[in-house]
Homo-oligomer: A and B are copies of this chain.
Amino acid sequence: MAKRLAHRPVDQAKQDAILACARAEFFDFGFEAASIERIAAAANVSKVTIYNHFQNKDNLFSAMVGSECRIMRGNLPEISDGETPLRVELLNFARSMMDFLSSPDIIRFDRRMAAEVERHPAMGELFLNAGPRLMQQIVTNMLASEMDRGRLAKADPKEAAGHLYGIIKGFADVEWRFSDPEQAAGSVTQASIEAAVDRFLRAYAV
């Protein structure tokens, strides 16, 4: 099917530059106030090129969110499914989860998505599937296997995942979302993480 004729190929570097600059623009100003001309200027690209690649502002925004979600997917906290003691396993996960969620990039993304969902409901689904729901699945699987192994009390693993996620977050995410995101990174003490994990372990002790 790949009929190749003589032509000048698309400059991928420009594509990437456009998306990167669109990201910055949309994050800084929000969808409505973002200016395509400013994006073009920042990416060293003609405005027409943007309209050739993406047809309009909505498409550009969608493409940017899609690309951003793909990146986010790769950076989700991981689970050390192994022979490590349960408490250590949970502590590691809690630490990396909180580091992830408190990174300014994620906080800003979360903020913008929350606002844009009203006008772009599909973006909300996209984001949920690329971020929160994926994380929920990771935690659910981990807890299910721990329950099978008898290291945690039998229960609905999905519900338990919500409990773990919630008890670790506490009020932190709310504070992050409405305060200066630069101050969020590294604001979670090890002591508070241990307290949360220990409470969870007690709640789900066999």
CB distance from A94 to the nearest CB of B (A): 12
Contact B174 A170 (CB under 8 A): no
If A165-B170, A166-B166 touch, whether A178 touches B118 (CB-CB below 8 Å) is: no
Contact A127 B162 (CB under 8 A): no
Interface residue A200 (Cβ < 8 Å from any Cβ of B): yes
CB distance from A58 to the nearest CB of B (A): 14
CB distance from A69 to the nearest CB of B (A): 12
A interface residues, tally (CB under 8 Å)? 51
CB distance from A109 to the nearest CB of B (A): 11
Q: Can you name the residue of chain B whose Cβ is closest to the Cβ of A159? A: B195
CB distance from A103 to the nearest CB of B (A): 16
Interface residue A78 (Cβ < 8 Å from any Cβ of B): no
Contact A199 B192 (CB under 8 A): no
CB distance from A37 to the nearest CB of B (A): 16
Which residues of chain B are within 8 angstroms of A167 by Cβ–Cβ distance?
Answer: 163, 166-167, 203
Per a CB cutoff under 8 Å, which of B33, B115, B170, B174 touches A159? Answer: B170
Q: A7-15, A24-32, A39-47, A82-90: which lies at the B interface?
A: A24-32
Interface residue A18 (Cβ < 8 Å from any Cβ of B): no
Interface residue A128 (Cβ < 8 Å from any Cβ of B): yes
Residues 112-143 of A, flagged 1 when their CB comes within 8 A of B and 0 if not, give 11111110010011011000100010000000
